Amino acid sequence: MNLLELHLHQFRSYHESVFRFEPGAIHILEGANAQGKTNIIEAIAYISNLRSFRTRNLRDLTEHGQPSFSIDAVCEHGGIREPLRIHHEAGKKKLFRFGNPVASFSRFVGTLNAVLFSPDDMMFFSGAPVLRRRFMDTELVKLSQSYTSALRTTQKLLKNRNALLKKKQPEPFLLETVTEQLVDTQGTVIRQRQGFVNRLNERLREFYPVFSGGTEHLKIQYRTFVDTERNLETQMKDLYRKTRERDLRFSVTGDGIHKDDLVFLLNGYPMSAVGSQGQKRSALLALKLSLCSIIQEKTGQYPVFLLDDVFSELDPVRRQKLIDLIPQNMQVFITAAEPVQADFGNRMVCVHHIKKEINGKDKQNESQ
């Protein structure tokens, strides 16, 4: 999978800018701080996930003083060139593929599949569980329609069940029916989350030792409210029967996939407690490379790999190890404030010199 063209209109610091990229190449977005390098990475990631990794406020993505923004892209997958368009105005997103409107997010997300590493990821291990659930959901939604459907239905059923629990005297039959439906859909979500974690662990056994010198091991533990080694539906039915009065008392569903978490174990101990900044950064890079491998196995194509300011905190040895681990035919985007010192072998490397726009025109030069 490749991104061939990117057109930013009133997006962040870009009033009107067009970028063209070589397929399968390593693209280095080089320039001083606050010149707009990360804005380009953000736009690519936004096409993939329909969500910014930097803000929840869509107004932040719009050029100051403008009423709207749009992102146009041409991606290539399976030998097919596909134009994509996102237009945001007045709090509404409009999505287009091949120039035609797309009715649902699920038919757009993942059309351009991108995997991102950013400095904000360093909070991944110690932050709230919602960060790690979001990681699972973001990637599985792009890989599995059945997961997307089950997750959406589960979220709706949880909302309905909580609404019933808030009533003084909820209809017992209706509460039981919603609970039974919740059991079925959560079973699908749990099985796919566990399978996803299992596949990540297989890849981590390959990638993480490269960064650690083979002296450490990293494992992900998926924690949910039932035992994944036993019959899920039977456990959930028993649990919801036992906790029914508690849920009624507190007017909320206390147990469910909305409490799931991932625990990263470094040599058997929680990474959040024992990991140094260097170990966390190595673990994140190994995790993102593992994810790229899973996507390639599932879809037959590597995703676009986005590395925002990754080299500034890597020593030369780990920097070279990362470059060596990147598959030859995977398109990569790297932001850097200084020229990147690394051996790229026979890979095509395109350097884009990014400078802040002047009078509405971007100042970028490119060399190969």
Q: Are 61 and 11 in contact (CB under 8 A)?
A: yes
Q: Is 113 annotated as a binding residue?
A: no
Q: Is 36 annotated as a binding residue?
A: yes
Dihedrals φ, ψ of 28, to 5°? -105, 115
Q: Is 32 annotated as a binding residue?
A: yes
| Measured CA angle at 100 (ends 37, 304), to 5 deg | 35
How many other β-carbons are positioned within 10 Å of the β-carbon of residue 200? Answer: 23
Q: Is 35 annotated as a binding residue?
A: yes
Q: Is 283 annotated as a binding residue?
A: no
| Long-range Cβ contact pairs of 53-58 (< 8 A, separation 24 or more) | 53/116, 53/118, 53/120, 54/120, 58/88, 58/91
How far, in Å, are 80, 113, 135, 207, 299 from residue 142 at the CA level?
19, 7, 11, 23, 10
Q: Is 192 annotated as a binding residue?
A: no
- b/e 159-195 (16+ beta carbons within 10 angstroms → b): ebbeebbeeeebeeeebeebbebbbebbbbbbebbee
Closest CA to 68 of 77, 79, 59, 81: 59
Q: Is 142 annotated as a binding residue?
A: no
Rg (CA), the chain: 22
- Which residues are within 8 A (CB) of 333 and not within 5 positions of it... i.e. 6 or more apart? 21, 27, 29, 40, 41, 44, 304, 305, 306, 307
Q: Is 179 annotated as a binding residue?
A: no
Helix extents (H) in 300-363: 316-325
Return the structure tokens found at 1. Answer: 């999978």
Annotated binding site for ATP: 31-38
Annotated binding site: 31-38
